[in-house]
Structures are given as C-alpha cells and as structure tokens.
Structure 1
Amino acid sequence: MTLEAFADTILPGEKRFPDDHAVAGVSAGGGSVASGVLEVLAGPEGGLAPTLDDLAEMLNEHAEAYARRHELTSRADLPAFAALGYDHRVALVRELIAPDHEEREAWIGLAMFSTIAFDAAAHLHTTDAIRSGHPGLAILGYSGPDGDGLWRFPSFSYGRALARPHPDTTPSGSPA
C-alpha cells in the first residue's frame, strides 16, 4: 500500500474502490497504480525488487516524522505514508527528491519506475497492453499494430520521410 501511495503521488489516478487508501483519487482515469506499477517494481528487470520492503519502511519512517512535524493525526490501521492526505504526500515527496536530500537518488528512482509503468507498460508486451486497455498507453494515444501484428506509420510524424530505407531492408522492415 505504501509503494502504491507513492506511485499515485507521482502519477495519480482514480480510486479503485471507495475505501482505497493507497490511491488518493485526485485524477480521473487510471494512473500509475492502475497501470501496473507494483508489477514493474517487482520485476527483475529494474533491479529494485530486493529493496522494495526497505523503501516502503523508509518511506513510512519519513511519513511518520513529517506527520509529527506538521502535527497531523495518524491512523494506526494504515501505513504512515498512505495515511497522509494527497497534498501532504506531495509535500513529503518534494522533500525527498530535493537536491540536498541524502536519499534523493532512491526516491527519484522509485518515481521513475512509477512513470515507466504508465508511459511504457514495461511489464507487458505492447500489443497485450493495448488490447487490454492499459490506462497509460490509452491516455498517451498509442495505436495498435496492423492486422499482421506489425506497426506501420503511413504518415510521418514530421510530415515527411527523414531518410530512405536501407536497400537491404525486407518488406517486414527488418535488415537483411
């Protein structure tokens, strides 16, 4: 719940259910949590999986200290970071990523993985993510592949071709 609350602070979405404490519900549609941030964080590719429990514990310790400094009432039934209101979560994250914070790199790394889940659906094959309506890819306007599973772009993003295909390029777009 702590890591979901952090990810939702970076890229907020709408609550999944009425008593959702991890997702603050400050944005419509799916944010980082609905985009699969926990799967991305736990995957072996990013290398963060072994540190997730420690990061959650550290984040909750920072949240407890923040709540004491700001005289906020805490909830014993929730992790300290998830218990913070959205504006307080944002304020704490700003402290954690400040240039002079000694743990800055860890929190920026966690924030980057939160955006990767949304922007790239890194834990899914792109066609599967598009087919399932992945919230981040849908919001960003990713189009699906052609019927044969290949992506083709008949109109160039710059309005013109930037280079001619290599003469040995096959019809599938692969180099020979």
Structure 2
Amino acid sequence: MSSLDRRTALKALAGAVAALSVSRFPSVTSPAGMTEGLGSWTVLTLEAFADTQIPGERRFAGDAAVAGAVSGPGAVQAGVIKTLASDELRLAPLLPEIAALLNARALAYATAHLILLPITFPPFVGLPFQHRTALVGDLLGHENPDRSIWQMISLLTSLAFDTAAHIDTRQAVTTHHPGLTWLGFPPPGPDGLWRFTDYSYGKALAALHPATTASGSPA
C-alpha cells in the first residue's frame, strides 16, 4: 500500500468514527478510561467478532468468545479490546452500541436459521463459529446499510494483530506481542531503531544517487 493509500485509509477511518459519533449515536459522550466500564457482554461480543476475523486458540477451557477454530494466537490474544477502547481512538463510548447492534443482527440471523441460542451469552457469542462467519460475511456485504461500521471494526481488528496498535512497537516486540511474534516481526537494533539491510526483492532495483546523504535523504 502506498503512503497515499495509507493516508486515504486513515482519513476514511477518521471520517467513519466521526460520522458514528455525530449521526448514528448522537447522545453518546466520550469520557476517558472506558476500557473497564464496557461491560462483560460488550467485551464478549466484540471479542467474538474479532475472533471471527482473525481466529485464535481458546485462552482457557470454556472460553465462549474465542471459538478455538485454529491453533496459535488471534486478534483477541493480540489485544483487540485494548485497541478498540484506546483513548486515542475515542471509540470506547460507542462500543456498547456497536455490540448491541451486532447482537441484534445475530438474533435475527439465529431466528431465520432456527438456531437455538444459549441465554447465558450474548447472541453473537452463542452462534457456532461457522454461523458467526456467515453472519459477518453478510454484514460486510455491499447491500448492508451498516457495512461501514463492520469495515471499521474489521480494520481495527487487523491493526491490533498486525501492528499492536495500542502499544509502542518497541514495547510490543520486547514483550512478545502475540500478533507481531506470530508474524515474525523483527526486533530493533541496539539503538532501538529498525534498519533493513536486505532488499525486499532480493536485489537493488536502482542505483543509489551519488548525492544521497549518509542518512539516506536526497541532497
């Protein structure tokens, strides 16, 4: 992805968050420190959604949110809830509403498919993994009016696993963040900086300009 594409994606994400704040949930405020106040049903629901996107193994016996569809870490182990509820994103006050919307969709899906849901878990969490996957596919479909919401949460889920978005990269590497470790993200050099001596294509694609400075900048 080019730097322009990244900027475009970030602008789209910021616009989606702003649109949700002012239009879909106009009465929601944004107090700090919402992570602890999300509520267990909200956390379970969002964990189950993230686990559908990037599955992982169960954290403990009877883990309801994580279906255990694969071995190894997934988005939940990588800290997706901390990413979603981070102060910088200011999305935490909206998460209960988003989880409620997802559970309403799950209840409608279960009714249409004659699936008996347990009453001890949120409706989306109660869906078997294959049905969670099918529902998420529907939510991301072009005809779904709420598609932008699920695209946004899906993007943040990926950021939690692929980049450890909620913590400093050096800290993530040194503390063995599950996503970065699984991806084989390299550690920094002794000075704490990343330098890549090997060309990504295995060879130099162009000769270095003779006026390039020692720092790699053009003269």
TM-score by length of 2: 0.74
Contact kept, 8 Å, 1:9 with 1:86, in 2: the verdict is yes
User: Distance between the aligned counterparts of 1:49 and 1:175, measured in 2?
Assistant: 43
Corresponding position of 2:52: 9
Consecutive unaligned residues in structure 1, runs of 5 or more: none
User: More displaced, 86-95 or 128-137?
Assistant: 128-137
- Counterpart of 1:74, as a letter, is L
Corresponding position of 1:49: 92
- Counterpart of 2:152, as a letter, is G
Change (3 A) 1:24 1:126: same
Equivalent residue runs for 1:16-165 within 5 Å = 16-162=59-205, 164=208
Contact kept, 8 Å, 1:11 with 1:32, in 2: the verdict is yes
Q: What's the CA shift for 1:55?
A: 0.4
Question: What's the % identity of the aligned pairs?
Answer: 46
Contact kept, 8 Å, 1:2 with 1:81, in 2: the verdict is yes
Backbone CA RMSD of aligned residues = 1.9
User: Distance between the aligned counterparts of 1:51 and 1:174, measured in 2?
Assistant: 43
Q: What's the CA shift for 1:11?
A: 0.3
Consecutive unaligned residues in structure 2, runs of 5 or more: 1-43
User: Distance between the aligned counterparts of 1:150 and 1:74, measured in 2?
Assistant: 50
| Deviations 1:53-107 (CA, angstroms, capped at 9, x unpaired) | 1000001111111111111111111011001110010011111111000101101
- Bigger helix fraction: 2
